[in-house]
Structure 1
């Protein structure tokens, strides 16, 4: 289960993955006893970084990934004109 266009995977309670492609966003479902919802983070070969600080619903997480995708072309841009210098915030 997952969204190929947004580059995410969903791991439900009791499921495992043998391999996750580095850079993939992953939703890990929490136990209902601990509030339910999902942890969202990005997986790499040697670490997992939480993308959001608190658990979210699957819908909230997907909306967040969609917003990231919409601003992705603006991230990391470099504008080197000395007369028109500005900084972009992520």
Structure 2
């Protein structure tokens, strides 16, 4: 990774305890918050992606997993003969 010009300061609000605990981890890895944030930003720019799973990613994956489980359950019911016929569906739902 190339040297980055550090000519701009960013500030944001976060939890004080969270930062303290993160700094301890960074120190254990012989790094610091500034270096880690610069590496993070450089990686985002280089890959045009976020290098970890975000809250939105986890939410999306949960929905996908639930849909897959529903499909699998429906398929098993179909294989066991527990599915409704086309006519039964039309009658039940007034279609």
* TM-score normalised over the length of structure 1: 0.29
Q: Which has the higher helix share?
A: 2
Larger Rg computed on CA atoms: 2
Q: Which has the higher strand share?
A: 1
Task: Work out which structure has the larger RCO, using CA pairs closer than 8 Å and 6 or more positions apart in sequence.
Answer: 1
* TM-score normalised over the length of structure 2: 0.28
